[in-house]
Structure 1
Amino acid sequence: MPKHTPLTDQVVTVCFAPGEDADWFSASEKVNDLLNVNGTPARRYHVRHRRFIGWITRFLDYYLVDTARRFGAITKAAGGRKGRLDLNSGAATAATQARLRWHAWNQYMNSTPNTRREARTWEDFQAIHRTDPAKLSLTEARRRFEQQPRIVAMLAYSGAHDFNPYELAIYQAGEHAYAGLHWRIAIVGDLLITAEGKLLKPASDTIADRMRFFNEAIKYLRSLKPSARLCAVTIS
């Protein structure tokens, strides 16, 4: 599979009801029940350490799921009690990285005349394909999308950042929108299963529908008490 493709692994954030087992195996069972796929734990959450006793808690994995350590200290986890997961830190880091990436992309796109003009997005070609698959196959839609000068330039870039051409719509929407998408991804992942067993997902692959989903999912996560349990699971 090419490095950049619209088909990638996804992260599902699973929320547990009070009293439920809250390990990654239980999370995978919930994912399998709703999506009929198997998953593995995704160590994507920063872990919060208490201000005055953090030197102790940084070595203790209570209320955490599948932790990663550096020099014995816990750095990240696949989940755990919401109060122990530093969601804000993860979001801030993702936003900073996204802003740096967007500025590099913007400078690169403005470096030559043939890449300054906005290109048609992948969503545009998908819409044409879905309207008349016989007229435009998915393979041909992808070929036409990727042959645009701006997309060729993104694929050819070999600098410090990684430009995903299938994110073109949000790149072209501007720095604030691009950073906003990525800090939301850092908190939510791609899908969310509520403690009540409801699957929240975007209505479509468009940026607008994804942003609506993220806003709904983040509103739900913010409504949970610090004692609530979460777990991130990667699916293919």
Structure 2
Amino acid sequence: MSTVNGTPLTRHGSRVPLIPARPTPPTPALPARAEATAVRPPVTPAPTIRIMVICLPDDLPAQAMTSHQLGTHFGVTGTLTTLYWATPRLRPWQRHQLIGARKGQPALCAGGPVRLLDLPGMRHAAAVGAGIRHQVWQQIVHGTGPATPWPVFESRHLTDPDRYPLDRASEDFHVQPRVHAIRLHAATTPGAGHLSVGELEMYQAGQVAYQHYRAASAVAGDAMLTADGRHLAPASDALAHRITYLEQALAHLDTVGPEQRLLAISL
């Protein structure tokens, strides 16, 4: 809450004199390093961006939908990735409108017009898979207390790397019993309901919240470049920042027309 300049107001609106504060004895000067540490603001870690969704401009030719053209048109370096499902009602003559389409059912592709992409199906499937994964997570962490997510330790390290080095931050994160449980499950049952310590905060938000998170991420990726050049991305990997990004990305997808082309790239 910001402070208001001047004297405070009574409940009737008249100004009243401000009670002078009691004088306090002067604080001894701190050494330069300690003083800098005391006033240093917390540093927000950069987000992890693996998948970016690009809303292609209408005038961009189909020849530009290649990995080596991404830097020229969008200023990013990456490769096309098969994030999307083609709609089950796809006709054979519509396949050429998809980008990087592959055979199979559902047909995977890197993008295409929204009307040819099964975004609802992707979100539903992601939610179902997330529900199963969260049930596995509940079983393996049973009996452990809530754990502090990695972005908290990373922020503390970046804020004061001299006093809190990266190896200390990593040790403090991994020593938590709940993190031990996740890592042991991943080590002993590879590929079976894979759990990631990077999603610890998402798991701890609850099953329904985790399902919503994964469903939204399935179609929005980790960042988005809109057709008018806006770059949407979370401020960090913290769940609150991830949710803010997903809100913005889904709100934008709700406004695009059926002919808007989407393209997914892996960074």
User: 1:29: which partner in 2?
Assistant: 70
Aligned match for 1:201, one of 233, 237, 261:
233
Distance change in 2, residues 1:105/1:155 (3 Å) = same
Matching of residues 102-113 of structure 1 within 5 Å: 102-110=134-142, 113=143
CA contact (8 A) 1:58 1:74 kept: no
1:16 is the counterpart of 2:16: no
Please state whether the residue corresponding to 1:215 is helix, strand or coil.
helix
Distance change in 2, residues 1:8/1:217 (3 Å) = closer
Structure 1 counterpart of 2:85, which letter? H
Compute the displacement of 1:9 (Å): 6.4
> Which structure has more RCO (C-alpha within 8 Å, separation ≥ 6)?
1
Distance in 2 between the 1:33 and 1:62 partners? 23
Distance change in 2, residues 1:134/1:224 (3 Å) = same
Distance change in 2, residues 1:128/1:138 (3 Å) = same
- List per-residue Cα deviations over 1:99-132 (Å, max 9, x = no partner): 100011002211xx3x2x1112112212221221
Task: Determine what percentage of the aligned residue pairs are the same residue.
Answer: 29
CA contact (8 A) 1:45 1:77 kept: yes
Distance change in 2, residues 1:222/1:15 (3 Å) = same
RMSD: 2.3
- List per-residue Cα deviations over 1:44-75 (Å, max 9, x = no partner): 1111133xxx5xx15751310001103xx661
Give the greater-gyration-radius structure (CA).
2
Aligned match for 1:63, one of 97, 102, 105:
97
Aligned match for 2:211, one of 179, 187, 198:
179
Please state whether the residue corresponding to 2:108 is helix, strand or coil.
strand
Report runs of 4+ in structure 1 exceeding 4 Å deviation. Answer: 6-9, 30-33
User: 1:130: which partner in 2?
Assistant: 158
Matched residues, number: 217
Compute the displacement of 1:178 (Å): 1.0
TM-score, normalised to structure 1's length?
Answer: 0.84
Distance change in 2, residues 1:64/1:213 (3 Å) = same
Greater strand proportion = 1
Compute the displacement of 1:150 (Å): 1.1
Structure 2 counterpart of 1:211, which letter? I
User: 2:201: which partner in 1?
Assistant: 169
Distance in 1 between the 2:69 and 2:54 partners? 9
Distance in 2 between the 1:74 and 1:138 partners? 43
User: 1:44: which partner in 2?
Assistant: 83
Distance change in 2, residues 1:31/1:201 (3 Å) = farther
User: 1:3: which partner in 2?
Assistant: none
- List per-residue Cα deviations over 1:167-203 (Å, max 9, x = no partner): 1111111111111111111001111000011111112
Please state whether the residue corresponding to 2:132 is helix, strand or coil.
helix
Provide structure 2 residue ranges, at least 5 long, that are not aligned to the other structure: 1-45
Please state whether the residue corresponding to 1:232 is helix, strand or coil.
strand
Distance in 1 between the 2:153 and 2:69 partners? 34
- List per-residue Cα deviations over 1:83-111 (Å, max 9, x = no partner): 0000111111111101100011002211x
Please state whether the residue corresponding to 2:99 is helix, strand or coil.
strand
Structure 2 counterpart of 1:161, which letter? G
TM-score, normalised to structure 2's length?
Answer: 0.75
Provide structure 1 residue ranges, at least 5 long, that are not aligned to the other structure: 1-5
CA contact (8 A) 1:24 1:233 kept: no
Distance in 1 between the 2:204 and 2:122 partners? 24
CA contact (8 A) 1:83 1:227 kept: yes
Aligned match for 1:91, one of 103, 123, 137:
123
Aligned match for 2:261, one of 222, 229, 232:
229
Distance change in 2, residues 1:193/1:144 (3 Å) = same
Distance change in 2, residues 1:31/1:11 (3 Å) = farther
Distance change in 2, residues 1:68/1:197 (3 Å) = same
